[in-house]
Amino acid sequence: MQADATSVIVVGGGTAGWMTAALLAKILGARAHVTLVESEAIGIVGVGEATIPPICAVNAMLGIDEGAFLRATGATIKLGIRFDGWGRPSDSYDHSFGGAGRDLPFCGFHHFCTRAAMEGLPANYWDHDFNALCIQAGRFAPDAETAPNPVWPLPHAYHFDAGLYGHFLRGIAEGLGVRRIEGRVVDISRAPETGDVTALHLEDGRSLEGALFIDCSGSRGLLIEQFLQTGYEDWSHWLPCDRALAVPSAREAVSPLYTRATARAAGWQWRIPLQHRNGNGLVYSSAYIDDDAAADTLMAGLTTAAQDAPRLLRFRTGRARRQWHHNVVAIGLSSGFLEPLESTSIYLIQSAIVRLLHLFPHDGRPDPQRAEYNRQSAIEYERIRDFVILHYHAQHRPEPFWTERRAAALPDRLDEKIALFASTGTIVQDPFDIFTEASWVKVLLGQGITPAAYHPLAGGFSRDALARQFEQMAMVKRQGVARLPLHDAWLSATMARTAA
């Protein structure tokens, strides 16, 4: 095949590969010829099943109908993550999507909760959180369906079957003209003057020439690490979990609207409800528990009957030192790994594609684009890393794994943020941080950090006025929840509507 200025070769057909191919083909249209090469013999990791709300933007960009998507991927709606046993073994809180109560300019709603608690008023932040109330009631409908009187914004994401999702994206990408090649990449050629990759060589002797190569080959990092040896920044001293066991089990009788993350003695267990099964897994540190004991923990914690034996996955937390090196961009697991505690991996794929589209190489001038891409990607990864570390740090669990996590040194920026919140309730949202002020508040409060003071603006009401406001706000939200359909009923109706 002849190279031209816009020939893009994607290596890998997991979620990263097909999402990249579909979005590049959709947005760049005739300006790019996208070819995807994948090896069925190698297969995909196939466990990315919980997402966060920006996934809705991917579906919108690709013009995906929600009902068709739910049917094709076995998806359920996700309104947040329930953290069981994190602060202390008996604790439970929801990191639900979206905000709570009503913020004032310069003064977030949580400051009013802090003041109310100090003055002996009932002040549960989550009583004013529409997503959390819908999670508890098991009710959902998107804003558009409650118009013209939407009850409250209800940001949502999905739980879906990763294998089915990849297949679904493949259909869309091929419909947009992406060419798929089955084969195993075994070598590359590079230009002697620039070091850029010029072609990939397949096991069967074929070669693929291109101008830009996207490495979506998964955790092996075939192009970025194995061939270009870009280097890996290891973060396992901050996040020492290095293994996961994954197992499917029977579906829940009623589909929960949340991913469940339950802290265990040497890690944590996830449960992701789909229409046809649960996805389950245990993320753990092999320094604290062996694989057999981890499997026992996982199986004992299932809420429904297992459908298979657990599958072991190994990982190393960190990121590629440069996620764009020469003319190779690493997207997906080849770009780094952060454990799925906050369901951020698929979001990182989406964000990398959007960044690449913004900074798409101009003919002959890729250097400034590449440097900026790498700068932004590094910050984004670090912000998510810090948010995940927060869960391990702010807790009072008794087991050695947890006491050591509590005592471990923190990245400087996280240390500063925790201190700021603990003293005055102040949250600072850094650039490229996907987590909003409300997300930080929920996890900080949920993990047991209570501010010692509130913003002066929260003192501007009488105690009685504050109590009335709280009561009224909670009532309006409770009434709003009652108007929504049950989750399973909404799923069935939406799928039936679009099947008709």
**Beta carbon nearer to ligand FAD, 156 or 455:** 156
346: contact with ligand FAD by CB under 6 A: yes
Rounded to 5°, angle at Cα 97 from 112 and 46 = 155
Instruction: Determine the Cα–Cα distance for residues 223 and 239; give it in Å rounded to an integer.
Output: 26
223: contact with ligand FAD by CB under 6 A: no
Within 119-178, which residues bind ligand FAD (CB under 6 A)? 162
Other Cβ atoms within 10 Å of 399 Cβ, number: 15
Instruction: Determine the Cα–Cα distance for residues 57 and 404; give it in Å rounded to an integer.
Output: 39
78 is catalytic: yes
Answer for which of 48, 101, 256, 480 binds ligand FAD (CB under 6 A) is 48
15: contact with ligand FAD by CB under 6 A: yes
341: contact with ligand FAD by CB under 6 A: no
**Which two structure tokens, joined as six digits, stand for 373?**
């891409």
Answer for which of 10, 34, 50, 212 binds ligand FAD (CB under 6 A) is 50
215: contact with ligand FAD by CB under 6 A: no
**Beta carbon nearer to ligand FAD, 42 or 107:** 42
39: contact with ligand FAD by CB under 6 A: yes
Cβ 164 vs Cβ 172: under 8 Å: no
Within 389-418, which residues bind ligand FAD (CB under 6 A)? none
Number of residues that bind ligand FAD (CB under 6 A): 38
Other Cβ atoms within 10 Å of 35 Cβ, number: 20
Q: Which of these segments, 31-39, 128-136, 321-329, 375-383, binds ligand FAD (CB under 6 A)? A: 31-39
466: contact with ligand FAD by CB under 6 A: no
12: contact with ligand FAD by CB under 6 A: yes
Cβ 477 vs Cβ 128: under 8 Å: yes
343: contact with ligand FAD by CB under 6 A: yes
Phi, psi of 427 (to 5 degrees): -115, 135
Other Cβ atoms within 10 Å of 254 Cβ, number: 11
318: contact with ligand FAD by CB under 6 A: no
Q: Supply the Cα-derived Rg of the chain in whole angstroms.
A: 23
Residues 268-307 as x/- pattern, contact with ligand FAD by CB under 6 A = -------------x--------------------------
Q: How far is the CB of 43 from ligand FAD (least distance, A)?
A: 6
**DSSP strand pairing (232-234 vs 243-249):** unpaired
Q: Which of these segments, 46-54, 398-406, 431-439, 445-453, binds ligand FAD (CB under 6 A)? A: 46-54
Sequence-separated contacts (24+) of 224-229 with Cβ below 8 Å? 224/320, 224/323, 224/325, 224/328, 224/330, 224/334, 224/335, 225/320, 225/334, 227/188, 227/197, 228/197, 228/325, 228/326, 228/328
Active site residues: 78
- Interface residue list for ligand FAD (CB under 6 A): 11-17, 37-39, 42-45, 47-51, 162, 184-185, 216-218, 220, 222, 244, 246, 281, 313, 315, 332-333, 340, 343, 345-346
